[in-house]
């Protein structure tokens, strides 16, 4: 509001300044016109646009000769100029009068304008004052109303708080009254209970007296005191309970035995019916077909050096007879026989057959067979549905692919046993993956029977424990031949599955296992002697070749070693015919020409 009033005042002052300036201009113009009329000077004003130049000092500067000659015309000119000046003065006077009239009109108009502006300013100021007064009064009214509303709200809050306090005081007073009444009732009940306790104690004492009197009467009547009667009663009850328990136990055992035999017979029969694996009798002889019969001469070599080198490096007996385009490889160790077969096959395909080449191809074939063993182990685990297994355990399982037990392939026996045990575990509601793991690893020790002392069950348990198998699996392995007392159901199922897989008709052959055990024992006897590097049982166990270290065994010790081995074999083993022991001591010298 104050800014609006300031703006109006500024406008008013500006208009007054304009009016005063116009008035001053008019007055100055009038004064100049008056002075011009009186002195005969040219008149310039507001309304005159014509300027008259009068004679001045320049006329006086004319030469004197001219003044004399022009004096008469000058008088006439002077009269004419005077007349012209008079007429101009009259015009100037008229113009001045007109200017004064215009100035008066302008003054009047300015006064009217100033009056109207002042009145407008006064009316605006009054309006602004009224607006300010109205705004102030409305603001004061609103403030008063809000203060009154707030005061009323506070009064209402105070009134509600006071009412709430009164209600709370009333409730507290009522609660105190109820608590007092409850306390009085509790005290009354305590007094009644005390009286009842006293009455019960009196009744109990009276009952004790009566019971004691009855006991004395019974003792006199029965001739026994209370302790003797109690002991006799307890003894009779105990004998009766034992007799009834024995009868019940006998019935339960008979029922459980009958039901258990029926269920076990059903489970085993079902497992045998569901398992359907083919059985192939293993042989200790492998046949390698040759492209031509001329290859036999290259295999034998000059003076038989190639065949001797092949047999000494691989430990496999090579039989070359009249069979067309075929040679036989004989060895009781199937892994060694397979390495020899693969070595001879590569040599035949390559065509270069000599002792150094035989050693090179044998090394590569051995690595390849190791890879095949790992692959066989992985396939067996995939067949039984086991995914997590230590890589070393997988490699040992794969080696069992080339092992037999009484003519039965050990790796196939493990997978077959795992499937049978899984079926029985599913029927009994047991942990099927754990039972599979126990059964597929129970003959793991057979992969190292020739390398580690001890039974294959204990060796397999140590291997499983070494590579992180759980105790249930380890116990099932070590207990599957009852070398350790069976403690878990998984071990029992492992034994049952092992017996079912090996006891099926045509699954095993006793003679082959005995033969393999005899050859293995022959090699163990020879390998146990000091200075022995390699031992190979050949010719179906009729010949044993012992490779010794030349720096530890001389020629005389080689003869003694052969006699000691033959004597120990005679004392420990039973065999048909004779066994020839050959001790080979070979020294090699090698140099490379650059």
Q: Per-residue pLDDT for 56 more than 50? A: no
pLDDT tens across 515-562, in order? Answer: 778 888 888 899 999 889 889 887 767 789 999 988 888 888 888 899
Burial class (CB in 10 A: 0-12, 13-18, 19+), 30: buried
Q: How many C-beta neighbours within 10 Å does residue 224 have?
A: 13
Q: Which residue has the higher pLDDT, 67 or 165?
A: 165
Residue 402 and residue 312 share a domain = yes
Residue 524 and residue 484 share a domain = no
CA dist., res. 166 & res. 188, Å (int):
33
For residue 489, is it within any domain? yes
How confident is the model at residue 565, as a pLDDT? 92
pLDDT tens across 381-426, in order? Answer: 888 888 888 888 888 888 888 777 766 788 888 888 888 888 888 8
Report percent pLDDT > 90 for the chain.
7
How confident is the model at residue 166, as a pLDDT? 92
Q: Per-residue pLDDT for 50 more than 60? A: no
Q: Per-residue pLDDT for 281 more than 60? A: no
Q: Which residue has the higher pLDDT, 15 or 352?
A: 352
- What are the backbone dihedrals phi and psi of residue 455, each rounded to the nearest 5 degrees, phi first? -70, 155
Q: Could you tell me how far CA 91 lies from the centroid of its own chain?
A: 117
Residue 494 and residue 532 share a domain = no
SS3 of 388, please? coil
Lowest mean pLDDT among 151-165, 476-490, 505-519: 505-519
Kindly state the greatest CA–CA separation across the chain: 210
Rounded (10°) angle between helices 432-440 and 489-503: 50
Q: Per-residue pLDDT for 49 more than 50? A: no
CA dist., res. 283 & res. 164, Å (int):
107
Q: What is the CATH classification number for the domain harbouring 377?
A: 1.10.3210
CA dist., res. 548 & res. 355, Å (int):
19
pLDDT tens across 299-330, in order? Answer: 888 888 888 888 888 888 888 877 788 888 88
Q: What is the mean pLDDT of the chain?
A: 78
CA dist., res. 407 & res. 283, Å (int):
8
How confident is the model at residue 459, as a pLDDT? 87
Residue 500 and residue 525 share a domain = no
For residue 566, is it within any domain? yes
Strands (E), 309-446: 317-319, 326-330, 404-405, 408-409
Predicted structure pTM score: 0.42
The predicted model gives 119-145 an average pLDDT of 85
Q: Over the Cα atoms of the chain, what is R_g?
A: 71
Strands (E), 171-325: 285-289, 317-319
Residue 297 and residue 169 share a domain = no
| Cβ-contact 383, 439 below 8 angstroms | no
Beta-bridged to residue 544, according to DSSP, are 537, 581
For residue 560, is it within any domain? yes
Find the domain containing 309 and state its range: 285-508
CA dist., res. 302 & res. 380, Å (int):
44
Residue 449 and residue 495 share a domain = yes
List, as own/partner pairs, every contact residues 375-379 make where C-beta atoms lie below 8 angstroms and the sequence separation is at least 24, other chains included.
Answer: 376/401, 376/411, 377/401, 377/411
Both structure tokens of 259: 């039901």
Q: Could you tell me how far CA 79 lies from the centroid of its own chain?
A: 132
How confident is the model at residue 546, as a pLDDT? 92
- What are the backbone dihedrals phi and psi of residue 578, each rounded to the nearest 5 degrees, phi first? -125, 160
Among 508, 529, 546, identify where a domain stops: 508
Residue 525 and residue 487 share a domain = no
| Cβ-contact 332, 284 below 8 angstroms | yes
Q: Which residue has the higher pLDDT, 581 or 72?
A: 581
Q: Going by C-beta distance under 8 Å and a sequence separation of 6 or more, which residues neighbour residue 331?
A: 284, 315, 316, 317, 337, 340, 536, 538
For residue 231, is it within any domain? no
| Cβ-contact 272, 500 below 8 angstroms | yes
For residue 482, is it within any domain? yes
For residue 524, is it within any domain? yes
CA dist., res. 239 & res. 217, Å (int):
28
Residue 446 and residue 377 share a domain = yes
The predicted model gives 261-281 an average pLDDT of 57
Closest by Cα among 557, 538, 553 to 587: 553
Strands (E), 301-436: 317-319, 326-330, 404-405, 408-409
User: Strand pairing of 543-548 and 580-585?
Assistant: parallel
Closest by Cα among 312, 360, 307 to 584: 312
Q: How many C-beta neighbours within 10 Å does residue 361 have?
A: 23
How confident is the model at residue 61, as a pLDDT? 43
pLDDT tens across 205-252, in order? Answer: 988 888 888 777 777 776 666 677 777 777 778 877 777 777 777 777
CA dist., res. 156 & res. 419, Å (int):
89
Strands (E), 293-371: 317-319, 326-330
Confidence band of 594 (pLDDT split at 50, 70, 90): low
Q: What is the CATH classification number for the domain harbouring 557?
A: 3.30.70.1350
Residue 440 and residue 311 share a domain = yes
For residue 457, is it within any domain? yes
Q: Per-residue pLDDT for 40 more than 50? A: no
The predicted model gives 576-589 an average pLDDT of 80
Q: Which residue has the higher pLDDT, 131 or 54?
A: 131
Report the domain count for the chain: 3
CA dist., res. 317 & res. 540, Å (int):
9
Residue 344 and residue 443 share a domain = yes
How confident is the model at residue 222, as a pLDDT? 65
Residue 390 and residue 346 share a domain = yes
Both structure tokens of 349: 């395909």
Residue 454 and residue 368 share a domain = yes
The predicted model gives 141-162 an average pLDDT of 89
Burial 104-129 (b: 16+ CB within 10 A, else e): eebbeebeeeeeebeeeeeebeeeee
For residue 501, is it within any domain? yes
């Amino acid at each position: 509001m104050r800014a609006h009033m300031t703006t109006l005042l500024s406008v008013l002052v500006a208009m007054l300044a304009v009016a005063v300036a116009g008035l001053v201009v008019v007055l100055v113009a009038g004064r100049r016109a008056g002075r011009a009329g009186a002195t005969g000077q040219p008149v310039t004003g507001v309304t005159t646009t014509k300027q008259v130049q009068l004679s001045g000092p320049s006329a006086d500067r004319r030469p004197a000769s001219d003044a004399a000659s022009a004096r008469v015309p000058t008088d006439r000119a002077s009269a004419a100029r005077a007349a012209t000046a008079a007429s101009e003065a009259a015009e100037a006077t008229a113009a001045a009068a007109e200017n004064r009239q215009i100035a008066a009109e302008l003054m009047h108009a300015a006064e009217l304008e100033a009056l109207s502006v002042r009145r407008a300013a006064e009316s605006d100021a009054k309006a602004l004052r009224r607006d300010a007064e109205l705004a102030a009064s409305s603001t004061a009214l609103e403030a008063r109303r809000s203060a009154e509303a707030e005061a009323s709200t506070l009064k209402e809050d105070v009134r509600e708080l006071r009412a709430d306090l009164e209600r709370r005081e009333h409730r507290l007073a009522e609660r105190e009254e109820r608590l007092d009444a409850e306390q009085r009732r509790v005290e009354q009940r305590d007094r009644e209970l005390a009286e009842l306790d006293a009455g019960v104690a009196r009744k109990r004492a009276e009952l004790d007296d009566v019971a004691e009197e009855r006991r004395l009467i019974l003792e006199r009547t029965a001739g026994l005191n209370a302790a003797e009667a109690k002991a006799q009663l307890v003894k009779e009850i105990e004998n009766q309970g034992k007799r009834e328990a024995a009868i019940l136990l006998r019935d339960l055992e008979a029922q459980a035995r009958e039901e258990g035999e029926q269920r076990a017979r059903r489970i085993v029969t079902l497992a045998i019916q569901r398992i359907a694996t083919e059985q192939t009798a293993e042989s200790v002889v492998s046949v390698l077909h040759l492209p031509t019969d001329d290859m036999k001469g290259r295999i034998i070599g000059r003076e038989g050096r190639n065949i001797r080198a092949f047999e000494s490096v691989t430990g496999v007996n090579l039989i070359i007879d009249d069979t067309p385009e075929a040679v036989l490889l004989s060895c009781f160790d199937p892994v060694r026989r397979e390495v020899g077969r693969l070595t001879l096959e590569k040599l035949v395909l390559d065509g270069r057959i000599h002792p150094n080449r035989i050693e090179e191809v044998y090394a590569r074939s051995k690595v390849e067979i190791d890879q095949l063993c790992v692959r066989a182990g992985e396939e067996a685990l995939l067949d039984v549905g086991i995914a997590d297994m230590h890589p070393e355990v997988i490699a040992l399982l794969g080696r069992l692919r080339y092992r037999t037990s009484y003519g039965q392939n050990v790796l196939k026996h493990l997978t077959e046993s795992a499937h049978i045990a899984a079926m029985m575990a599913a029927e009994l509601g047991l942990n099927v993956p754990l039972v599979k793991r126990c059964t597929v690893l129970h003959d793991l020790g057979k992969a190292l029977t020739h390398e580690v002392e001890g039974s294959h069950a204990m060796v397999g348990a140590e291997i499983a424990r070494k590579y992180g198998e759980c105790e249930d699996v380890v116990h099932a392995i070590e207990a599957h031949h009852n070398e350790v007392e069976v403690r878990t159901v998984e071990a029992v199922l492992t034994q049952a599955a092992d017996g079912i897989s090996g006891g099926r008709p045509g699954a095993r052959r006793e003679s082959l296992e005995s033969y393999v055990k005899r050859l293995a024992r022959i090699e163990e006897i020879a390998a146990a002697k000091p200075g022995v590097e390699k031992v190979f049982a050949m010719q179906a166990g009729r010949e044993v070749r012992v490779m010794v270290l030349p720096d530890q065994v001389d020629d005389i010790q080689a003869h003694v070693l052969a006699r000691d081995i033959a004597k120990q074999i005679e004392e420990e083993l039973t065999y048909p015919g004779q066994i020839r022991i050959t001790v080979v001591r070979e020294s090699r010298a090698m140099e490379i020409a650059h």
